[in-house]
Amino acid sequence: GAGVSQSPRYKVAKRGQDVALRCDPISGHVSLFWYQQALGQGPEFLTYFQNEAQLDKSGLPSDRFFAERPEGSVSTLKIQRTQQEDSAVYLCASSLIGRILQETQYFGPGTRLLVL
């Protein structure tokens, strides 16, 4: 596709509900990143995939957060038993290879999650 897309753009969940956020990276991009952006803050790293391999999940805030990219393209970020503190914008970014230092990440529009 022309850019990184994410769905849904907005999600309202009741506390305790499970949610799934989808990211479609730019076609052919090997690397995929998830970030969490709280209100008034900069994005914070959650996890990183190279193809289907999740190479870094050090930023996931708890074991309620789970990400996958089974075929090395589309990725899903799942949050189980959502809590109010999970309310944030979740950004996805992709880059062509990710092993070259000068690579640029291209960001999607984000999914705004509100947990009531």
Partner 1 sequence: AQTVTQSQPEMSVQEAETVTLSCTYDTSENNYYLFWYKQPPSRQMILVIRQEAYKQQNATENRFSVNFQKAAKSFSLKISDSQLGDTAMYFCAFMKHGLGTGNQFYFGTGTSLTVIP
For binding to partner 1 (CB under 8 A), which residues are involved? 3, 31, 33, 35, 40-45, 48, 50, 55-56, 89, 91, 93, 95, 98-110, 112
Nearer Cβ to partner 1 (75/95): 95
CB of 58 to partner 1, least distance (A): 8
The one-character DSSP state at 100 is S
Question: What is the DSSP pairing of strand 88-95 with strand 106-107?
Answer: antiparallel
CB of 16 to partner 1, least distance (A): 27
Tracing tokens 């193809």 back to the chain, one arrives at 51
Which letter, b or e, does each residue of 23-44 get, where b requires 16 or more Cβ atoms within 10 Å of its Cβ? Answer: bbbbeebbbbbbbbeeeeeebe
Nearer Cβ to partner 1 (5/80): 5
CB of 49 to partner 1, least distance (A): 8
